[in-house]
Chains A and B, each alone.
Chain A
Amino acid sequence: MSEDHIHTQPWSPPEGYHQVESRVPGVVVFAPEPEHAPDDQAVSYACPNCGANTAYDVAAGGVACEYCGYVAKVKTAQVGRFADDFEFTLETLSQARQGWGTQRQVLHCDSCGADLSISEGALTTVCAFCASNQVNVITSPQETLRPRFLIPFKIPPEETLPRAKAWLGKGWYHPDALRSNVIVRRFYGLYLPFWTFNAMVNAKWRAQIGYQQTERHYNASQKRWETRTRIVWKWESGQVNLTIDDLLISGSAPQHLSHRILGELNPFNLNELVAYSPDFLAGWQAQAYETTLPEAWEMGKKNIRELAKKACYQDMPSNQVRNFTMHADFSDESWRYILLPVYLAAYRYEGKVYQVMVNGQSGVVAGSKPVAWWKVWLAIAAILTPGTFLTLIGLPLALLGGLGILAIALGIILFVGGAIISINLYQHVRKSESN
């Protein structure tokens, strides 16, 4: 500490500092500005050349004006898996950055209840979840955490319909009408919220492990030595260490967006994560998270602990296990709130709504499709017929003797095999139909 008796110039804080609350009168305190503070300013997406609305253009990789051809590259950095993550502090929620950083509004769909954040000016839209146009504006929730990173769209919108048409055309048990061009009219590019979690897990297990032992014993009744196998149980313990890297949990509510379909869109290449910039959202829809961080972390923990349990079982020297217990200690847990690009379309078929999604990064298509059940039942009947027929033929033959028993046996085997195939087919078909 120096003493300066002739110091006369007024002191001013260095750049990048702002005044914060002081708990002692007479003391002024400055702290570094929070990161990305400029993003808190509202951003207007008007073309500097012609004044028309601009939007993020996938092909151009920047904000573009479709009228005059103006393009501005997005100023951001690719951070990939090295993107900053955050600890589970008790004050995380209050400290987390809030808002979207640009003038966005939340549209609430009265039909399905989904909340959509859309650009200023787009007061109404077709709900991407239920194809309803019954939407109205509600205030954006202040408690919404701010997304820090996202993967920009790489698949241009014009590629979505051909991909979807190809996907819809696959599968013999779907209605032929699905191959029509008009069944899906338009995809909506949507940034969906995801939580990613990292953690180190040290899992200690203890269990009785069964070892097969072969021993010889004398069979007094048979008056001979025999070999028999028995299981010897031994208490054993061990530990495994797991590194969980970027476990993805959807931030969308399952009642609005099928987590099954979302899961089929994986994987997303998180090496292409970039720092969040509102430019990426210009002209696109983005969904705020509905599953909160604690809720998502609970889901993540359930997944992780099952992974740890599986790793513990793999650590055991035998498949014979009983009285299994384990403690999974988590450490260095961290999270990120990111946006991932998905094209979403909803279409109606015979009064029922189906969802189709296209991975905006890889182009993978997943969704639900209606089923032409008459085709399925016909197939099942065809599968079961040989067994049934052979059994029926075998019955009178059996009364006459000869090959009848063989035919019945073969018929039953075919029937059982057909039944198994039919059940699997039924379940598969049901799954493809459900959202």
Chain B
Amino acid sequence: MEKAIPSEEIVLADQTLWHTDRQPAGCSHCRRVYLVAANYHGTDCPLCRKGILEAQPAYVRRAAPEKMLPFRITQKALLPIYERFVSGVWIKPEDFNPQSLLNNTRAVFWPLWLVDSDVSGPWQMSAGFDYQVESAREVYTDGRWHSQAQIETRLRWETRLGTLDTRVDNVITPALEEHENRMQMTGPYPLEKSHDFDASLLGGAFLELPDIPPETAWPLARPDIDKALTKICQEAAGAQHFRDFTMRARFGEQNWTEFFLPIYTTHYTDDEGQPQVLVINGETGTIRGPRLASRQRGGRIAGIIGAVAGGLLLLALLGLLLTVVFPPGALIAGVTGILGLAAGILAIVVAIWPGQWNRKQGGPRIAERP
């Protein structure tokens, strides 16, 4: 790690960075590292909600981030999102309600790398060119011929090769080990709306720091750089399609900068007392995370309904005995017996449903880290 990240990139625990008042702090549980205002020291980690943020030195590039996508969704606008999210769950944990989720909400910016690099070298591809063909349709009706031209688009493949000497800019590359998981949690961002990094737009948000250094991220960047090069060569050849692109590339003058994307996180506590973290895309409002029902509450409610069912069945039994001396008592016995059976079935359903519901809750969850 020391070899990958130069020592001058170490930022001490009490140092601020990027013209902000934020200092490095790490989670005692998941080891995620953030830049936070000093008054957030000692608060819950906004992503795992299991550890406390403690001041610590961090490996950070001192060069300011290049771009950011600010929050479009305000915290107030989260309430209806939470309401919709919660409404589908029948027997919820105590704090799985919109207001509680809103109270627990934290704003976080999470990082990507932007890679710039000089590229040169020979390339080759099969370039596909669309072309149009005129086909004929001759119609004979009422004793006369009518001609109709039909235009059809076809594809022609030709070899194109050559050399490239250019610079690719702002190729987006993962900066977190859990990048894929994070993208699944947030869904896509409208990256074309991003603009230059501006510390004044950070507000009270946590800045999550990269845990993949550039040297490690380089192999991850290559597929997207290759895609960018392919697109450049395709455009240069004037082709509409391509396949079998190969290039013997030489890279130089690389530049790595951060690109921050907005999320909100919140949580509720499940039956085991574990925090269940929800993630909301700060740009699109997409919310993802576990939507669990409470088996404990379900059990309690089922117990109450079961007791009522038992009472009703007892009454039904008494009514049945009463019929010996008072024949209309059969009616009471029948009614209470049916009600008792219905309540008993309801109790069973209430006891079983949370477990069944929870079993169906797949979907992405925030990555667990030791």
Give chain A's interface residues, CB within 8 Å of chain B.
1-5, 7, 11, 13-14, 17, 19, 21-32, 87-91, 199, 301-302, 304-305, 308-309, 324-331, 333
Q: How far is the CA of A388 from the CA of B160 in the complex (A)?
A: 84
A22 is contacted by which of B134, B236, B248 (Cβ under 8 Å)?
B236
Is B162's beta carbon under 8 Å from chain A? yes
Taking residues whose C-beta sits less than 8 angstroms from the other chain, chain B's interface range is 35 or more
* A328 close to B137 (CB less than 8 A): yes
Known: A4-B250, A305-B145. A30 touches B137 (CB 8 A): no
**A333 contacts across to B, CB distance below 8 A:** 133, 135-136
Smallest Cβ distance from A66 to chain B, in angstroms? 45
Beyond the given pairs A13-B162, A23-B236, 9 more chain A to chain B contacts, judged by CB atoms under 8 angstroms and listed by A's residue number, are: A1-B249, A3-B248, A3-B249, A4-B248, A24-B236, A27-B164, A30-B162, A325-B139, A329-B137
* B138 close to A11 (CB less than 8 A): no
Is B335's beta carbon under 8 Å from chain A? no
**A89 contacts across to B, CB distance below 8 A:** 131-134
Is B39's beta carbon under 8 Å from chain A? no
* A24 close to B160 (CB less than 8 A): no
* A326 close to B165 (CB less than 8 A): no
Known: A5-B250, A328-B138, A333-B135. A24 touches B161 (CB 8 A): no
* A330 close to B247 (CB less than 8 A): no
Q: How far is the CA of A302 from the CA of B248 in the complex (A)?
A: 55
* B250 close to A7 (CB less than 8 A): yes
* A27 close to B233 (CB less than 8 A): yes
* B163 close to A27 (CB less than 8 A): yes
Q: How far is the CA of A87 from the CA of B232 in the complex (A)?
A: 30
Smallest Cβ distance from B285 to chain A, in angstroms? 38
**A5 contacts across to B, CB distance below 8 A:** 250
* B247 close to A1 (CB less than 8 A): yes
Q: CB-defined interface of B149-164 with A at 8 Å, one 1/0 digit per residue?
A: 0110010001111111
**A29 contacts across to B, CB distance below 8 A:** 160-162, 233, 236-237
Q: How far is the CA of A308 from the CA of B251 in the complex (A)?
A: 63
Give chain B's interface residues, CB within 8 Å of chain A.
121-122, 131-141, 145, 147, 150-151, 154, 158-166, 222, 226, 229, 232-233, 235-238, 245-251
**B151 contacts across to A, CB distance below 8 A:** 90
Q: How far is the CA of A30 from the CA of B161 in the complex (A)?
A: 5
Known: A1-B247, A23-B238. A13 touches B165 (CB 8 A): no
Q: How far is the CA of A276 from the CA of B274 in the complex (A)?
A: 83
**A28 contacts across to B, CB distance below 8 A:** 162-164
Q: How far is the CA of A5 from the CA of B120 in the complex (A)?
A: 10
Q: How far is the CA of A333 from the CA of B133 in the complex (A)?
A: 9
**A14 contacts across to B, CB distance below 8 A:** 161
* A1 close to B245 (CB less than 8 A): yes
Q: How far is the CA of A87 from the CA of B151 in the complex (A)?
A: 12
Number of A-B contacts (CB under 8 A): 127
- Measured CB to CB, the nearest residue on chain A to B166 is A26
Q: How far is the CA of A309 from the CA of B138 in the complex (A)?
A: 10
* A326 close to B132 (CB less than 8 A): no
- Measured CB to CB, the nearest residue on chain A to B238 is A23
B137 is contacted by which of A22, A91, A327 (Cβ under 8 Å)?
A327
Could you list some 30 contacts between A and B, CB below 8 A?
A1-B222, A1-B247, A2-B246, A2-B249, A3-B249, A11-B121, A13-B162, A24-B235, A26-B165, A27-B163, A27-B166, A28-B163, A28-B164, A29-B237, A32-B159, A88-B133, A89-B134, A199-B136, A304-B138, A305-B145, A325-B140, A326-B139, A327-B138, A328-B136, A328-B137, A328-B138, A328-B140, A329-B135, A329-B137, A330-B137
| Closest 5 A/B residue pairs (Cβ) | A27-B236, A24-B236, A26-B166, A330-B136, A305-B138
Q: How far is the CA of A29 from the CA of B122 in the complex (A)?
A: 10
Smallest Cβ distance from B162 to chain A, in angstroms? 4
**B236 contacts across to A, CB distance below 8 A:** 22-24, 27, 29
* B132 close to A309 (CB less than 8 A): no
**A21 contacts across to B, CB distance below 8 A:** 238
- Measured CB to CB, the nearest residue on chain A to B225 is A1
**B233 contacts across to A, CB distance below 8 A:** 24, 27, 29
**A88 contacts across to B, CB distance below 8 A:** 133-135
Q: How far is the CA of A88 from the CA of B131 in the complex (A)?
A: 10
**B154 contacts across to A, CB distance below 8 A:** 87
Q: How far is the CA of A25 from the CA of B235 in the complex (A)?
A: 11
Q: How far is the CA of A328 from the CA of B148 in the complex (A)?
A: 10
**A1 contacts across to B, CB distance below 8 A:** 222, 226, 229, 245-249
Smallest Cβ distance from B217 to chain A, in angstroms? 15
- Measured CB to CB, the nearest residue on chain A to B159 is A32
**B162 contacts across to A, CB distance below 8 A:** 13, 19, 22, 27-30
**B164 contacts across to A, CB distance below 8 A:** 26-28
Known: A1-B226, A13-B161. A330 touches B121 (CB 8 A): no
- Measured CB to CB, the nearest residue on chain B to A21 is B238
* A90 close to B138 (CB less than 8 A): no
Q: How far is the CA of A305 from the CA of B226 in the complex (A)?
A: 52
**A90 contacts across to B, CB distance below 8 A:** 131-134, 151
- Measured CB to CB, the nearest residue on chain B to A29 is B162
